[in-house]
Chains A and B, each alone.
Chain A
């Protein structure tokens, strides 16, 4: 109970905002290290690949891109404590589960460092982290009790 008393909305939002920033930094630095232009290279390659995969795939990719862009927005909203962050964060949860983009972005780095991970265990951890995120955004009040 002591742990929950120490939680505040400000800290929780900084935590999720920080993880969003970590996700973006991980992607951008890795991409640059591989000699690519972040976002742009992926967009051009995806456009080529999608020609052959039908409308459903195009829709999936567009939603995935929408999610990626929304992570940029949510990072700012969480860090600047804007009230819209809560709703955007909650709206992202189903998409994060579908496209396997965990809010707890440390999992991405973990999977990179331990490539022989168990996919089902990973899925379980992602689901759990999203449940925790949803709960923390809804249940944690502004002022610590």
Chain B
């Protein structure tokens, strides 16, 4: 049996029972001719400020269908054609918790521990409410990955060796200057603040959760107060593993 449910009321249903909004849209389009034939459609009409039996304008029709397409209203079924649990590409990540990113041409899949929901897990009211709001929000940039430009860096190291060839009494690749001008890219991900950090949320910038940013760094000698010499070799621009971004004041 098929039934339309507001996303806030799908507690108790498993992802395997929730139809993908894409196919739900098709079902609802068909049911518009006979609203009584689909349980919950009447409630959806009411949620859109419409009543069953009135003459609908094209605008009313779009309003109803938009609620289904956006996932505000979900279709639950004993045997869905394309359940949210099979949302491999994360098209409905705000509902299923799966993420698939093609940013910078990289294929990325969250680890099991990162998945807000796993296949077959019961979708509770609290989790749906939280996850659907997690598209954008305050947070912090957290280091996800470091890409070293391996081939380029090898050539740079080779060139460094040629110029430092005459230095006596040391093994090559044992000092920072041997890696001079090598480069790498930090990949940071925007993640929600923890409970302890929530007080910062009103000052925080807002980005889409899961958004990645890339920071290019170069290994060069720079000022450093710690060593006696006053300088050291390090990656620049210096970037912390966790970065809190303040809201921009306009």
Contacts and interface: CB of A to CB of B under 8 A. Distances in A.
Nearest to A28: B169
A52 interface: yes
Interface centre among B169, B175, B178, B184 (most CB of A within 10 A): B169
B125 interface: no
Interface centre among B166, B175, B178, B233 (most CB of A within 10 A): B166
Interface residues of B, dominant DSSP: mixed
B204 interface: no
Interface in A91-136: 98-101, 107-108, 111-115, 117, 119-120, 122-123
A140 B9 CA distance: 87
Nearest to B179: A53
B215 to A, nearest CB: 15
Contacts of A26: 168
Contacts of A43: 174
Given A54-B148, A112-B166, A119-B165, A98 B158 contact: yes
A30 interface: yes
Given A42-B174, A53-B182, A56-B153, A100 B169 contact: no
B171 interface: yes
Contacts of A55: 148
Interface residues of B, number: 31
Interface string B156-172: 01110111011111111
B176 interface: yes
B158 A54 contact: no
Given A53-B179, A54-B146, A57-B153, A45 B174 contact: yes
Contacts of B219: 52-53
B166 A111 contact: yes
B186 to A, nearest CB: 12
B226 to A, nearest CB: 13
A49 B161 CA distance: 16
B171 A111 contact: no
A43 B172 CA distance: 11
B158 A64 contact: no
Contact of A46 (B157, B174, B184): B174
Given A56-B154, A119-B162, A30 B174 contact: no
Contacts of B184: 54
Nearest to A56: B150
Contacts of B166: 108, 111-115, 117
Contact of B165 (A57, A61, A65, A108): A108
B235 interface: yes
Interface centre among B153, B174, B178, B235 (most CB of A within 10 A): B174
Contact of A39 (B171, B178, B233): B171
A123 B155 CA distance: 14
Interface centre among B157, B172, B233 (most CB of A within 10 A): B172
A68 interface: yes
A118 to B, nearest CB: 10
A47 to B, nearest CB: 9
A56 B148 contact: yes
Ranked nearest first, the 7 interchain pairs of A and B with the lowest CB-CB distance are A30-B169, A111-B166, A30-B168, A54-B148, A42-B171, A119-B162, A46-B174
Interface of A: 26-27, 30-34, 36, 39, 42-43, 45-46, 49, 52-57, 60-61, 64-65, 68, 98-101, 107-108, 111-115, 117, 119-120, 122-123
15 contacts: A27-B168, A27-B171, A30-B169, A34-B168, A36-B169, A39-B171, A46-B174, A53-B148, A53-B179, A99-B161, A107-B165, A108-B166, A115-B166, A119-B165, A123-B162
